[in-house]
Chain A
Amino acid sequence: MNPANRSRVVIATALIIALFLAAWFMLSPVTALLYLSTGLATAVIVLGLNIQWGYAGLFNAGILGFIALGGYAVMWVSVPPVPEAIAAGGAGLLSVIVKLAVTAICIWVLHLAAKRLPINLPVWLLRTLQVSIALAGYIWMKTEFVIAVEAIETADTLDQTMKGFIGGLGLPVLLGWAVGGVFAGIAAWFIGKVTLGLRSDYLAIATLGIAEIIRTFLKNADWLTRGTLTVSPIDWPVPTPREMNGMLESGLEINLKWLGISAEQTATAVGRGLFIAVSAIVLIILVLMMERALGSPWGRMMRAIRDNEDAAAAMGKNVVRRQLEVFVLGAILMGIGGAMLVSLNTLFDPSSYHPPRYTFLIWTMLIVGGSGNNLGAVFGALFIYMLWEMSEPIAQFLFFGGADMLTALIPGFEPPVDLASRASQMRVIVIGVALIATMRYAPKGVIPER
């Protein structure tokens, strides 16, 4: 690492520690731990984005889709199945899946036939036929699908918190994290195949749209995800606070008062501390893997493609294939991060994937942190996330203090009633200012690419 960067890393770490301590003392130790944990999971996501944007210059605005898929995956893997619902609609669903598969195969066969056979089929005709088959397939399975879904959603279940969907596999949570990566990777493969031929700015809008479709689907497919009713609790790879509490009550002795953590908070603190440890291990492994990739001939090839695509192609590199590779790799990381987040929150709520918050905030993290640099990505995630969370309490402190001061100084002054919710608006403003300031004064980010 070059010396200029080294000093920046030190400053960056200091900033994060400062925000962490601010949270620890202004709010509470357990809240600070929660923020750190969320920041680490987000760092995995931003690392993924760094691979797509920093290595290969692919502008992915559809981050949300991959994160949501990761979240769904961990829910699906770790939540136990709901036998009543499966009994009611499982067969119907299976039949629908078969019909979908048949339709997909027909379309694919048509694609192959057009390629292999000597007839010269005009592209528009091929596409029209394929779209017609898709439409026919949709109509074919629609009624059965509706009936199966209806059955699943209305099946009466023993466990009311699980009512309305088919449940999952009931397997360990860490596996769910991995499956999150797999789901996101598969989705990225298909999306990449279709959109990577487009010019970069168009790629952004296409990915944004597809992410929107994924998000809307997950939100509305109650039979799959319980939609707005959400699914919880989702397990942790380490003892949850509740489990920790049980352990503490049955004799385990842990005294954290010297850290300022009260007895009631100890279980949560320890639980979250362990989660942080696991998250940190996952993050470190991934960072090391990505660093290795970047420093290898693969990284050199990706830089060449980014520097001059035509020359790289002329020198034998299959640009589209490599871009797809990068896109999928980045998406896998986003899926893992998304799974980690849902695990941490023990709640899968598809409506929480709100575009402004997630998509733009994550991009801001990468740009401010330093795109093209893995450490920059991690820093950006932790810093911006903490800044985002801490802006509200700090703003409230300032606003209320200011309101008190103005009330004392100006007779008849009445602060607005919803001062608290207005204070929370400062978050977006602070982040916006941070972004613009970075663009203006450090356009390559705080920790730029070496």
Chain B
Amino acid sequence: MPQDDRNALLQIDNLCKSFGGVQAVNHTTFDVVEGSITGLIGPNGAGKTTLFNLVAGNHKPDSGSVYFAGDDITGMQPHALFARRLLRTFQIPHEFDTMSARENLMMVPGEQSGENLFSTWLNFSRVRQQEKTIRERADSVLDFLGLSHVADHPAGKLSGGQKKLLEIGRTMMVDARMVLLDEVGAGVNRTLLAEIAGKIEQLNREHGYTFCLIEHDMDLITRLCERVVVLAEGTVLTVGTPEEVTSNPEVIEAYLGHTDNDMLKSQRSRG
């Protein structure tokens, strides 16, 4: 694999985490290069979501470090990571169910003066100004995602696919540097999936978003990712291009030991 001279934006160094005796993440080390779309795959139980949770601050690692843009972010809280423009989505959409789709998006930008109580009471005109700008951005994101027609619907009432899109839309309300996508393709039909893939490519190409995605859908991985990290039993098995990884006998064996069929399907489909 040719040496990349782009910088590593996210560096995971020797992370370990065990839960009640089970070593979920076991000395995992890898990089995500800036501007890339990197895949993170592996059989169920390999530790992928745990890894995301460790990076995103939902759990503290037992040992090891995580670096983002050169800074040590190990164990930092989610809201602090957001401030550094490292965002994440959730596998099961975490929408704000009583709020409208538009409100779901409008709440995202940080440091809104409207979120400060004193500004709300004493400097309301400034708040109103900002709200206008934020609303415009939210509307354009809704447009981009094709969700304009449900802008005022409560997010809890949207379809699964729409909730997924909204989840991604939230990351578009700020100029993110990197987004961790957790199984964005799970439970989504083929058409919508292709749409989502297109949006991801667009964001990457036009806005410079770096993505790291956990996925089981090998087609999505093959289409989007230039580089794939394979995780098995809590540690990195190998790193390579999608083609390299899907034809790697060790990787196939790791999957064979589990009931994942996507890997085998894509292997077979290539003959």
Contact = CB atoms under 8 A, between A and B. Distances in A.
Interface of A: 289, 292-293, 296-298, 300-301, 303-304, 307-308, 310-319, 325, 329
Given A298-B117, A307-B96, A316 B112 contact: no
A297 B96 CA distance: 14
A307 B154 CA distance: 12
B97 interface: yes
22 contacts: A293-B117, A297-B106, A297-B112, A297-B127, A298-B115, A298-B116, A301-B115, A303-B96, A304-B96, A304-B99, A308-B94, A310-B90, A312-B107, A313-B79, A314-B79, A314-B94, A315-B82, A315-B107, A316-B78, A316-B83, A316-B108, A318-B77
B120 interface: yes
Q: Is the interface of A mostly helix, strand, loop or mixed?
A: helix
A325 B117 contact: yes
Contacts of A317: 79, 107
Contacts of B48: none
A200 B87 CA distance: 27
Given A297-B131, A307-B98, A314 B121 contact: no
A311 B114 contact: no
A308 B127 contact: no
Given A316-B174, A318-B77, 6 more contacts: A297-B112, A301-B115, A304-B96, A308-B96, A314-B79, A317-B107
Instruction: Indicate the size class of the contact surface on chain B.
Output: 35 or more
B164 interface: no
B265 to A, nearest CB: 32
A318 B80 CA distance: 8
B127 A296 contact: yes
Given A301-B115, A307-B97, A308-B95, A289 B121 contact: yes
A314 B87 contact: yes
Contacts, number: 87
Interface in B58-98: 58, 77-79, 82-83, 87-88, 90, 94-98
B227 interface: no
B34 interface: no
B15 interface: no
A311 to B, nearest CB: 4
Residue among A297, A313, A318 with the highest chain B CB neighbour number at 10 A: A297
A300 B102 CA distance: 11
A313 B78 contact: yes
B121 A292 contact: yes
Contacts of A308: 94-97
A300 B117 contact: no
Contacts of A310: 58, 78, 90, 94
Given A314-B94, A315-B82, A315-B170, A296 B108 contact: no
B144 interface: no
B119 to A, nearest CB: 9
Given A313-B77, A316-B82, A316-B110, A292 B124 contact: yes
Interface of B: 56, 58, 77-79, 82-83, 87-88, 90, 94-99, 103-104, 106-108, 110, 112, 114-117, 120-121, 124, 127, 130-131, 134, 170, 174
A404 B132 CA distance: 70
A293 B124 CA distance: 10
Contacts of B116: 298
Contact of A297 (B78, B90, B107): B107
Contacts of B90: 310-311, 314
Nearest to A289: B121
Contacts of A325: 117
Contacts of A311: 90, 94-96
Nearest to B96: A307
Contacts of B114: 296-298
Residue among B56, B94, B110, B174 with the highest chain A CB neighbour number at 10 A: B94
A319 B77 CA distance: 10
A301 B107 contact: yes
B120 A296 contact: yes
A310 B57 CA distance: 11
A298 B113 CA distance: 9
A318 B99 CA distance: 19
Contacts of B94: 308, 310-311, 314
Contacts of A293: 117, 120-121
A308 to B, nearest CB: 5
Nearest to B116: A298
B144 to A, nearest CB: 18
A318 B76 CA distance: 12
A297 B110 CA distance: 11
A373 to B, nearest CB: 13
A300 B127 CA distance: 13
Contacts of A303: 96, 98-99
A298 B107 contact: no
A325 B116 CA distance: 10
